[in-house]
Structure 1
Amino acid sequence: MALLGSIVIAVGIGTVAVPVTHTWSFLRAGLFGGTIGADEVGQYRIIWDLRLPRVLLAVVVGAGLSTVGVAIQAMVRNALAEPYVLGISSGASVGATAVTLFGVFASLGIYALSVGAFVAALAATLIVYLVARTRQGLTPLRLVLTGTTLSYGFFAITTVIVYQAPNGEAARSALFWLLGSLAGANWGTLPIAAIVVVGGVLLLLALAGQLNALAMGDEAATTLGVDVGKLRGLLFIVCAAMTGVLVAVSGAIGFVGLILPHLVRLIVGADHRRVLAVAPLAGAVFLVWVDVAARVLAAPEELPIGVLTAAVGVPAFLFLMRRRSYVFGGA
């Protein structure tokens, strides 16, 4: 109910305010058919064509980032891990900036940015996998070190691309995307992201018991019958795919995958069956309202979402560190 209420209210908030009763009527008309008065067509188009895809994309991205954060923290057994620790976000940023500034994949039209970011994310995933993998499989330490190191390399490439921008406005657009934005949301890109996130969440829920074992350490997980190497490889692929898709449609939005898993564990405990059931909903609600703030705080201009998630995430993280009763990654 909290998520549904957030969606309905958030869709009505913006430069052109729409009452909740009208918003609900427009949504029902769009979903089930209905009559829209001639004087309400403008508001209906704003709600249905512009705001609803954006709010729903915020739901998908928030749910996906928080879920990936849970999985990665279990996979590498590191409380500071988040979806971008594997270097995939930085890799996607290379592709996105190349599209924005130099017209790569321009023939794909409105899908060029998403395709460029996703292709670069896949390339970054492959590089990280090949460098981190050993005969013993993927170990947590090598994954973190490889992902972190390559992130700096990808960031350097992105910086060079932005520096070579043909004009200042192009560079500004690229930097805005790098800080996270849902302004490009539309009905064309939403289904792909939604399918990938829903599939990933369902798969991770099915693996929740094995994640509980993995969180206790490789030896304990092996004793419980878990093939640690195979599980970690599967988790890497799932998290990489989800992160690549999400970065492609929303840019690099930080802190959601770091903070939300910890807050959820604080409420429901460390059992991944409960954490993975609650984290997607918490992340969805959180990002819906962060996006509302991004749209209205500096209206008619927009603030980058990554700036606001950092503004919330930094004090939240410091608060959690000060809680003596809470152990990161534990119960």
Structure 2
Amino acid sequence: MVLLTLLVVVAGWALTLGQADISTAQVWTSAWHHACSLVAQPGSGMCPANPLTTIQDAIIWAGRAPRVVGAAAVGAGLALAGAVMQALTRNPLADPYLLGVSSGASVGAVLVLVLGLAAALPVAAFAGAMAALVLTLALATGRGGGLSPVRTVLAGVAVAQVGSAVVSFVIFWSATGDSYREILTWLMGSLGGATWPEALTALGATAVIGTVLAAQGRTLDAFTFGDVSAASLGIAVTRSRWVLLSAAALLTGLLVSVSGAIGFVGLVVPHAVRLLVGERHHRLLPVAALAGAIFLLLADTGARSLFEPRELPVGILTAAIGAPVFAVLLRRRASA
């Protein structure tokens, strides 16, 4: 409840930051005006007047709001997917991009940006992510359809390296001028151009797939003790790993298609949350989702406001914050 309240407060604060001088009270009054107008007749006296001018209203609800919603949804989804990947592979260094999803998405995104088809970027990125997922799972699948953690990690690394090589080749061979800048911004992760369709895509994916993943807390607890222990507890190991890996990768692919490859959220947040709530996934997953949403929302707000009028790709800030935090967490675990 504390994190949920903090998320609402941070979201309201983020909406006020920018060159247009708009207060928090104006934002919430305007939000209540629009929400009330959906159920009451405009001008009936039941709803408060909108304190914002037409231009201010567009700045908040067409410009900043989709970015705030997108950042919170992407952060929550990446944190969830990272926690699931770490449990399934029993690898503390696992993150949502373990299966090569981000590299596949990068290939699709870079190809359409080089071709000047930026409007197709989300679709191409998602298609590339799913192609990488299929290839990784095909390489990792052993006889009988089993997916061992070690083989899965190695297959993901191999696919990621191939995808990175393709991206580097395309950039070296074809990228010039504005396309090079667009590619670099996308590869480092950015929510600068988020629109309502993209924000709602991220929100819907996190709500639907994230709920499915969060409901598998007992199964993920069993996996932390190894496949043999999980099987002895009645878990269908092969089927469960296939379903959970695919769901986490699908969620990651949808999020990456909206925001680009934003690093460290899915790696650091689950580790930090474990210090607060322990290892049990029925507590870890929802808390990690809220913490991830707050973390990325703060990072994105900093990326667009710290160096105004210039804007940083948010992946730069998440890496700058996440790497030292992860180092501290590692030191604490080593001394425990």
TM-score (norm 2): 0.92
Q: 2:213, 2:248 within 8 Å by CA — same for their partners in 1?
A: no
Q: Measured at CA, do residues 326 and 80 of structure 1 come closer, stay the same or move farther in structure 2, by a change above 3 Å?
A: farther
Q: 1:212, 1:271 within 8 Å by CA — same for their partners in 2?
A: yes
Q: 1:26, 1:47 within 8 Å by CA — same for their partners in 2?
A: no
CA distance in 2, matches of 1:100, 1:271: 42
Structure 1 residue 324, shift from structure 2 partner: 4.2
CA distance in 2, matches of 1:166, 1:141: 36
Q: Does 1:35 align with 2:36?
A: no
- Stretches of 4+ moved more than 4 A in 1? 324-327
Q: Measured at CA, do residues 324 and 80 of structure 1 come closer, stay the same or move farther in structure 2, by a change above 3 Å?
A: closer
CA distance in 2, matches of 1:216, 1:113: 40
Q: 1:66, 1:279 within 8 Å by CA — same for their partners in 2?
A: yes
Q: 2:84, 2:244 within 8 Å by CA — same for their partners in 1?
A: yes
Q: Which residue pairs with 2:164 in the alignment?
A: 155
Q: Deviations over 1:235-256 (max 9, x none)?
A: 1110111010010000000000
Map 1:113-124 to 2 at 5 A.
113-124=121-132
Q: Deviations over 1:248-302 (max 9, x none)?
A: 0000000000000001111000000000120110000111110000001111111
Q: Which residue pairs with 1:97 in the alignment?
A: 110
Q: Does 1:205 align with 2:219?
A: no
Count of residues in correspondence between the two structures: 321
Structure 1 residue 4, shift from structure 2 partner: 0.7
Q: Does 1:79 align with 2:92?
A: yes
Map 1:77-226 to 2 at 5 A.
77-103=90-116, 106=117, 110=119, 112-136=120-144, 137-226=146-235
CA distance in 1, matches of 2:28, 2:99: 41
CA distance in 1, matches of 2:264, 2:333: 22
| Amino acid paired to 2:302 | A
Q: Measured at CA, do residues 69 and 166 of structure 1 come closer, stay the same or move farther in structure 2, by a change above 3 Å?
A: closer
Q: Measured at CA, do residues 18 and 152 of structure 1 come closer, stay the same or move farther in structure 2, by a change above 3 Å?
A: same
TM-score (norm 1): 0.93
Q: Which residue pairs with 2:325 in the alignment?
A: 316
Mind listing any 5+ residue stretches in structure 1 that lack a counterpart?
none
Q: Does 1:15 align with 2:28?
A: no
Q: 1:268, 1:274 within 8 Å by CA — same for their partners in 2?
A: yes
Q: Is the partner of 1:79 in helix, strand or coil?
A: coil
| Amino acid paired to 1:128 | T
Q: Is the partner of 1:203 in helix, strand or coil?
A: helix
Aligned-pair identity in percent equals 42
Q: 1:184, 1:249 within 8 Å by CA — same for their partners in 2?
A: no
Q: Measured at CA, do residues 138 and 28 of structure 1 come closer, stay the same or move farther in structure 2, by a change above 3 Å?
A: same
CA distance in 2, matches of 1:181, 1:202: 25
| Amino acid paired to 1:96 | A
Mind listing any 5+ residue stretches in structure 2 that lack a counterpart?
38-47
- Of stretches 245-254 and 19-28 in structure 1, the one that deviates more from structure 2 is 19-28
CA distance in 1, matches of 2:252, 2:68: 19
Q: Is the partner of 2:189 in helix, strand or coil?
A: coil
Q: Which residue pairs with 1:25 in the alignment?
A: 29
Q: Deviations over 1:119-162 (max 9, x none)?
A: 11111111111111111411100111110121111011111111
Q: Is the partner of 2:310 in helix, strand or coil?
A: coil
CA distance in 2, matches of 1:305, 1:296: 11
